Structure 1
């Protein structure tokens, strides 16, 4: 069976490194949103009018923190998929270069 990699060896290594960074960064960011870090308050997608309509309820803010944390964890999961894809591409190149020598 002949395997045909979709990207070159250097690109697959670069994508693997970027995927690792994305997984770590988004997992940490999601964890900080999960614990409702005050430093990230400005980064939650809140609607000022809706928040005012709810009398500046903390439940609204906590809901937005949870939503943003979930989005970060989903994005980290997508990076996991790309990490495995990049690793498979690296293995295809390693196998092809081994067979040629």
Structure 2
């Protein structure tokens, strides 16, 4: 589909890869463009999921968050396009997750 539909029209494609591996994202978003232009992975959004649940708020693990960003940025570097984002319509808003009551004024 990419070769026949997207590439001739110079379109950008993005795939949501919620819990997939770095290796799969490298394959799907390889710089040769045969599959997708870039991928979204959601691993960094799960650093504050208590018991794997996304709606209850828990204290984020900033060390784990930094390690995840490093892992993905270095792993995708010169191999595939990595899309960076903080939240989407399926997640609690980032300000609610990372801000403290004291920082809200």
What is the TM-score when the length of structure 1 is the normalising length? Answer: 0.26
Structure (1 or 2) with the greater helix fraction: 1
Tell which has more relative contact order, 1 or 2 (C-alpha 8 A, sep 6+): 1
